[in-house]
Amino acid sequence: MSLKFRQIALIGKHHSAFNNAPPDQARQVLTSLTQWLKQLGAQVFLEQDSAQQMGLDAAPSLDVQGIGRECDLALVVGGDGTMLGFGRQLAPHGIPLIGINQGRLGFITDIALNQLEAKLEPMLNGDYEEDHRVMLHAHVWRGNESVFQAQALNDVVVNRGATAGMVELRVSVDGHFVANQRADGLIIATPTGSTAYSLSAGGPLLQPSLGGLVMVPIAPHTLSNRPLVLADPAEIVIELVAGRDASANFDMQSLASLALGDQVKVRKSQHHAVFLHPRGWSYFDTLRQKMHWNEGGS
């Protein structure tokens, strides 16, 4: 069989050495993958920071923009956080990603190391499930000026300061006033992000193929403020009415400090992250495994 993907980027989690894995194991995984892919006839590139941090020179290195230009597939070895980070960065280039799980949870990195070659080879030949994930694009507006913008694959979160009390947020959807909420914060999550912070705050699980988003208050002052599933909103606007040291987080990576009157405007991104899974992959199988459902059952 001929490879469907011939220019393949390898990306590793170099910060904290693949969670608790020794640094030598991290290098070994990427080195072995490089050799195996070359034997299959692929041209292999290493993501630049991964190569530098791990001292790898088994293949040429490229930065993210270079991967977007030169490659037709990225293999991400790490946890969901690594997958999210590069999913955001590569989405504008339309590069699909395959996640190889070296993390603790693995909602979107679903190939285990001990199944690597058996699961991966059919996928490289075109036998896979394609999974398009909604992303968010958010601006922080201060008056008529956009002072910050970022993409998010999981969520956009407006939070109170670490030592401050509740914030008061004025929320509207598609130009319609929804509510003034007093809470520790507010989460706008994609279906992918519904298994992250949103879930911890009491939000529902959303199937990834849904087009909707979920809005989840964090520790609301009024208990009747409940999570709300939104159907393809054009724009969600969150205005900081009261509260000190508030901030907006984007996938818990980028951070913007907020001043009173600032507005965080969130809408769906024009880009999608594209994940590839082994044939037969099911979101519900993943949920059952990762959420430990039916434990003790037959």
pLDDT at 18 over 70: no
CA angle 251, 168, 186 (to 5 degrees): 25
Of the listed 72, 80, 184, 251, which one is catalytic?
A: 80
- Could you read off the pLDDT of 191-230 as tens digits, one per residue? 999 999 999 999 999 999 888 999 999 999 998 899 999 9
Pairwise CA distance, residues 64 & 11, whole Å: 10
Pairwise CA distance, residues 141 & 143, whole Å: 6
What is the value of pTM for the model shown?
A: 0.91
In the chain, CATH 2.60.200.30 sits at 135-269
pLDDT at 27 over 90: no
So what CATH class is 7-126?
alpha beta
- Assess whether 251 carries a catalytic annotation: no
**Which CATH architecture describes the domain 135-269?**
Sandwich (2.60)
pLDDT band at residue 277 under the 50/70/90 scheme: very high
In this predicted structure, which of 4-8, 161-165, 204-208 has the lowest mean pLDDT? 161-165
| Contact indicator for 54, 23 with CB cutoff of 8 Å | yes
- Could you read off the pLDDT of 29-49 as tens digits, one per residue? 899 999 999 999 999 999 999
Compute φ and ψ for 134, nearest 5 degrees: -65, 140
Q: What is the mean pLDDT of the chain?
A: 90
- Could you read off the pLDDT of 259-274 as tens digits, one per residue? 999 999 999 999 999 9
Per-residue pLDDT at 206: 95
Per-residue pLDDT at 290: 84
pLDDT at 137 over 80: yes
pLDDT at 186 over 50: yes
- Could you read off the pLDDT of 56-111 as tens digits, one per residue? 888 999 999 999 999 999 999 988 888 999 999 999 999 999 999 875 667 888 89
| Contact indicator for 269, 138 with CB cutoff of 8 Å | no
**Region class of 50: left (phi > 0), else alpha (psi between -120 and 50), else beta:** alpha
Per-residue pLDDT at 180: 95
In the chain, CATH 3.40.50.10330 sits at 7-126
Pairwise CA distance, residues 291 & 174, whole Å: 34
Per-residue pLDDT at 21: 53
Tokens read off for 124? 């490289």
pLDDT band at residue 19 under the 50/70/90 scheme: very low
SS3 state of residue 84: helix
